[in-house]
Homo-oligomer: A and B are copies of this chain.
Amino acid sequence: MIYNPVKVHFGKDVVSKLGKAATPLGKKALLVYGKGSVKRNGAYDQTVAALREGGVEIVEFDGIKSNPVIEDVDKAAALGRSENVDMVVAVGGGSVIDSAKYIAISIPVDHSGWEFAIGDKKPSEALPLIAVLTLAATGTEMNAVAVVQSDKEKKKVGNGHPLMFPKHSFLDPSFTRSVPENYTAYGVVDLVAHALEGWFGDGDATLTDKFILSIIREAMEYGPALMKDPENYQLRAKIMFAATMALNGLTAQGKKSGDWGTHGIGHAMSVLWDIPHGASLSIAFPAWMKLQKERIPERLIKLGEGLFGISDPDETIRRLEEFFSSLNSPLKISDMDAPTGPAAKEELLEVMRINKVSGFCHELSEEDHRVLVDSMM
């Protein structure tokens, strides 16, 4: 089924409309944010002002970290429960909004959000969620999926449910101007990786494939330009919009599913060494493609033709690596602040095993894990 009920408000100063959206949802909001960057880029102030204007009382929960952890979700849900809030308002990037999705379904229940994340329980109700996005990357602002990790269990999992759609998402590209260079790049990588996961999904969906190529081409056209001109509102807007389109269902239409094996590889790196999500994907995708190119040559040939007008898969992978490098996103684990010796390799393999890293369409064996890790180190 094609279904996406999120109301996306896009453009400069669009948060001024948030109060009007919040008023019908209740009297008291749990305002969730991260380590404080939203206080520097104006998103926090504008959101608080809009909520007050809408007559909505605010309870705050801050400190959500990137690669968000379930402990914070549970603490925030406990606060929301005891304060009897009517809605959740998330201000931040993917980590904050993903956490808020689990918080919104955890407040009405008496167990940890982790049970939703690992699929042991399904939500039957949710508090309404409003998202104010400050980072162009994950697409969470327009979908019903969220990723969270448990450090204790060394697991990072993504799960979703229609109750996890935000009611409203406010996207003002100005907020992303203050995103540091590396996270700007990781956001571009992330959106391209989302489009690629769709590309390597199952199903004959020629128009969806054209949409996917459109999104990747947009990122290739304007991503590097943005790195050179990070204050440019128009470029920020183009990348923010492309990131939303890359994971709002558009790239999955007519497909049984995307593959998502590469995301599993990236999650393993993130949970182990706290490598930023986007960075883990510019490392993992080339390795994954090298592993798969003999198995699914046709998809790699069509990708190269669609993006570069070339049909050699090796050259296509090389050009994608070149693109990631042009953004200064890493191609190897050794480019990041992470250990790379034989012990580290075994540790990563262990986390991949615990997380059963594989794709929905292209399975990965433990032997494949070893080839991938060798290729990424």
Contact = CB atoms under 8 A, between A and B. Distances in A.
A273 interface: no
A207 B245 contact: yes
Interface string A199-239: 00000101100110111011001100000000000100010
Interface residues of A, number: 31
A8 B214 CA distance: 23
A2 to B, nearest CB: 4
B221 A241 contact: no
A7 interface: yes
Contacts of A250: 250
A301 B59 CA distance: 54
Contact of A210 (B6, B8, B9, B214): B214
A302 to B, nearest CB: 14
A365 interface: no
Contacts of A214: 207, 210-211, 213-214
A253 interface: yes
Given A10-B2, A241-B254, A218 B210 contact: yes
B241 A253 contact: yes
B1 A9 contact: yes
Contacts of A253: 241
Contact of A222 (B206, B215, B218): B206
Interface of A: 1-10, 142, 204, 206-207, 210-211, 213-215, 217-218, 221-222, 234, 238, 241-242, 245, 250, 253-254
